[in-house]
Amino acid sequence: MLKISKKTDYALMALQHIASVQFGDVTPGRVINTKEIAEEYHIPLELLAKVLQALSKSGLIESHNGPKGGYLLARSAEQITIAQILESIEGPLGLTDCSHEKDGEFCMQREHCNIRTPLLKVQDSIYQLLNSMTLHNMMGGTPLITIQSPSVQGVDR
């Protein structure tokens, strides 16, 4: 399935919203609070709060306490990539467990494994894709983005 979790969905929606308000034309620089986002997109408030906490902890957004408080992007929308958002919520991304094995851990199949190398290449390619797309790309107008279809070349093609 390769699905991303709902939390990640919520994170993407929230960040997109924050970015579009913060850098929009109507009320630029306005601070956004959790409740506003939750109501706008029909997301459970408490769960969204946890998601925003995680984003804040990993430095993508900064929080402001007290009344009239809320969240702001910690850096510009151009400097926030989808890969960063994903990793903030779901941890290091990888198709396989063996792609981030620590010392001592060991995959039983490892020494006989015939698919590790090609999978790592695919994984790397997906990572580059996610890392080349920024929050800013996701915002605004209709054409949004154009993706060149990536290609994989076999040894004898």
Partner DNA sequence: GTCTACTCCGATCAAAGTAATCGGAGATCA
Partner DNA sequence: TGATCTCCGATTACTTTGATCGGAGTAGAC
Residue 136 interacts with, from a copy of itself, DNA, none (CB under 5-8 Å by kind): a copy of itself
Residue 34 interacts with, from DNA, a copy of itself, none (CB under 5-8 Å by kind): DNA
Asked if 77 contacts 134 with a C-beta cutoff of 8 angstroms, the reply is yes
Asked if 72 touches a copy of itself (CB under 8 A), the answer is no
Asked if 65 touches a copy of itself (CB under 8 A), the answer is no
Q: Which is nearer to DNA, 54 or 133 (CB)?
A: 54
Q: Centre a 10 Å sphere on the Cβ of residue 7 and count the other Cβ atoms it contains.
A: 17
Phi-psi region of 144 (alpha: psi -120 to 50; beta: other; left: phi over 0): left
Asked if 112 touches a copy of itself (CB under 8 A), the answer is yes
Q: Which of 66, 67, 91, 104 binds a copy of itself (CB under 8 A)?
A: 91
Q: Centre a 10 Å sphere on the Cβ of residue 52 and count the other Cβ atoms it contains.
A: 25
Asked if 102 touches a copy of itself (CB under 8 A), the answer is no
Closest alpha carbon to 136 in 25, 15, 37: 15
| Cα gap 95→98, rounded to integer Å | 9
| Cα gap 148→150, rounded to integer Å | 6
We find the least distance from the C-beta atom of residue 59 to a copy of itself, in angstroms, to be: 20
Footprint of a copy of itself on this chain (CB under 8 A)? 1-4, 9, 12-13, 16-17, 20, 40-43, 82, 86, 90-97, 108-109, 112-115, 117-119, 121-122, 124-126, 128-130, 132-134, 136-138, 140-141, 143-155
